[in-house]
């Protein structure tokens, strides 16, 4: 390859950024539907569907290192291309289970918003915000794991209903921290 082609290829790679994955922001009046799950099912796994969700946080820090709380935005996202289901095995109950996973993510997004609101940031805000995010994310992941364990991935209906009620109560408790 000649040097001009290499340089041109390098410049194209330098300026072309990959698109972020498709995402759906959590909204109270916009429940998940099966068409939102666009990933390829893993037929080796025993469960019927999986929800991939997470939180994003954007913020600004001033020149003195303090967080500008008014610039802080925390969102709960559902990632369609990383979420999947097995069409032959779906039920309304399983879709509610997957919605509960997304609701758990929103619950922790609200908790993070509250933590940010309540925290007295210092000039070391960048490290402090990373700590708050990491703490909340660890709690979110553990809650997601516990939810699947205690409901056996939606198979134990009594546990499923109890979890749905706990999630609903928590979302209501933190309603003031809805964006």
Locate the domains of the chain by residue range: 22-177
Burial string for 14-41 (b: 16+ CB within 10 Å, else e) reads eeeeeeeeebbebeeeeebeeebbeeeb
Number of other residues whose CB lies within 10 A of the CB of residue 54? 17
Name the CA dihedral angle for 140, 144, 145, 151, rounded to a multiple of 10 degrees: 150
Residue 12's pLDDT is: 52
Map tokens 């003031």 to a residue. 176
Model pLDDT for residues 7-24, shown as the tens digit of each residue: 455 445 545 656 667 999
Number of other residues whose CB lies within 10 A of the CB of residue 103? 25
Terminal C-alpha separation, the chain: 52
d(CA 68, CA 117): 11
Residue 22's pLDDT is: 94
Residue 9's pLDDT is: 52
Instruction: Report which of 22, 26, 24 is spatially closest to residue 179, judged by C-alpha positions.
Output: 26
Residue 18's pLDDT is: 64
Map tokens 């999947």 to a residue. 84
Residue 11's pLDDT is: 44
Q: Which residues of the chain have pLDDT under 70?
A: 1-20
- Please tell me what DSSP assigns to residue 40: P
d(CA 85, CA 47): 9
Residue 7's pLDDT is: 45
Whether the CB-CB separation of 158 and 165 falls below 8 Å is answered with: no
**pTM for this one?**
0.88
- Please tell me what DSSP assigns to residue 155: T
Residue 179's pLDDT is: 85
Map tokens 């999986």 to a residue. 50
Residue 162's pLDDT is: 98
């Amino acid at each position: 390859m000649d040097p001009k082609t290499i340089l041109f290829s390098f410049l194209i790679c330098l300026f072309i950024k990959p698109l972020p994955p498709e995402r759906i922001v959590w909204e109270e009046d916009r429940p998940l539907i099966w068409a939102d799950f666009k990933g390829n099912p893993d037929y080796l796994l025993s469960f019927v569907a999986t929800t991939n969700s997470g939180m994003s946080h954007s913020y600004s820090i001033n020149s003195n290192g303090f967080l500008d709380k008014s610039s802080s935005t925390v969102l709960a996202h559902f990632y369609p291309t990383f979420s999947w289901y097995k069409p032959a095995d779906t039920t309304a109950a399983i879709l509610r289970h997957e919605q509960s996973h997304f609701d758990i993510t929103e619950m922790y997004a609200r908790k993070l918003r509250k933590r940010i609101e309540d925290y007295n940031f210092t000039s070391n805000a960048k490290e402090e915000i990373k700590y708050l995010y990491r703490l909340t994310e660890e709690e979110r992941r553990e809650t997601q794991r516990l939810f699947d364990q205690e409901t056996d991935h939606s198979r134990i209906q009594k546990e499923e209903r109890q979890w749905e009620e706990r999630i609903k109560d928590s979302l209501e408790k933190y309603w003031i921290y809805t964006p």
